[in-house]
């Protein structure tokens, strides 16, 4: 994989984590919203933290689509699972959330799969094709 592709994977992690943190922060300040009061959902979009979260998650989506164009989903999704660790750390530092030992164990178990999954090729070679897969280097 090239440096640019690693950069896209890092961008996915950062955009998703900070986008989720922004959405959570904004919605906690707005309070509980139900579908019975759908106008409050529309108003929530204009909260600056929620709007920032939406923009960051749009950046995540653009990077995610880019990564899926050159790599398999079974590579991209596990390779970006470090985002769970970053999200937990940001939740502690920025949202002052408490994370139990059981959650930490779960986060670390999921994230440890990255070492196994990323050892293989990032794209499955297509049958009948003698060219390298898009994500592989020569």
| Residue-number span of the structural domain to which 79 is assigned | 3-117
Residue 26 has pLDDT above 90, yes or no: yes
In this prediction, residue 81 has a pLDDT band, given cuts at 50, 70 and 90, of confident
Residue 130 lies in a domain: no
Q: What is the pLDDT of residue 138?
A: 46
Q: Is the pLDDT of residue 80 over 60?
A: yes
In a domain, 132, yes or no: no
Task: Examine residue 127 and state whether it is found in any structural domain, yes or no.
Answer: no
Q: Examine the pLDDT at 133 and tell me if it is beyond 80.
A: no
Q: What is the mean pLDDT of residues 39-59?
A: 93
* Amino acid 34: pLDDT: 79
* 59 burial type by CB count under 10 A (0-12 exposed, 13-18 middle, 19+ buried): middle
d(CA 58, CA 53): 9
Q: Per the domain annotation, does 76 fall within a domain? A: yes
* Radius of gyration, alpha carbons of the chain: 18
Is residue 137 domain-resident? no
pLDDT at residue 115 above 80? no
**Total structural domains in the chain?**
1
Q: What is the reported pLDDT for 128? A: 60
| 80 falls within a domain | yes
Domain-located, residue 131: no
pLDDT value of residue 108: 85
Would residue 136 count as lying in a domain?
no
Give the residue-averaged pLDDT of 63-90: 89
Distances (CA, A) of 113 to 38, 47, 85: 40, 37, 13
């Amino acid at each position: 994989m090239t440096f640019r592709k690693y950069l896209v994977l890092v961008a996915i992690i950062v955009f998703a984590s900070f986008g989720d943190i922004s959405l959570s922060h904004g919605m906690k300040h707005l309070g509980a919203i139900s579908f019975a009061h759908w106008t409050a959902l529309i108003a929530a979009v204009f909260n600056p933290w929620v709007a920032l979260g939406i923009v960051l998650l749009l950046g995540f989506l653009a990077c995610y689509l880019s990564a899926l164009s050159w790599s398999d989903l079974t590579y991209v999704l596990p390779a970006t699972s470090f985002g769970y660790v970053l999200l937990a750390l940001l939740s502690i530092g920025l949202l002052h959330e408490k994370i139990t030992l059981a959650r930490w164990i779960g986060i670390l178990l999921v994230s440890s799969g990255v070492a196994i999954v990323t050892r293989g090729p990032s794209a499955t070679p297509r049958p009948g094709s003698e060219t390298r897969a898009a994500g592989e280097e020569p």
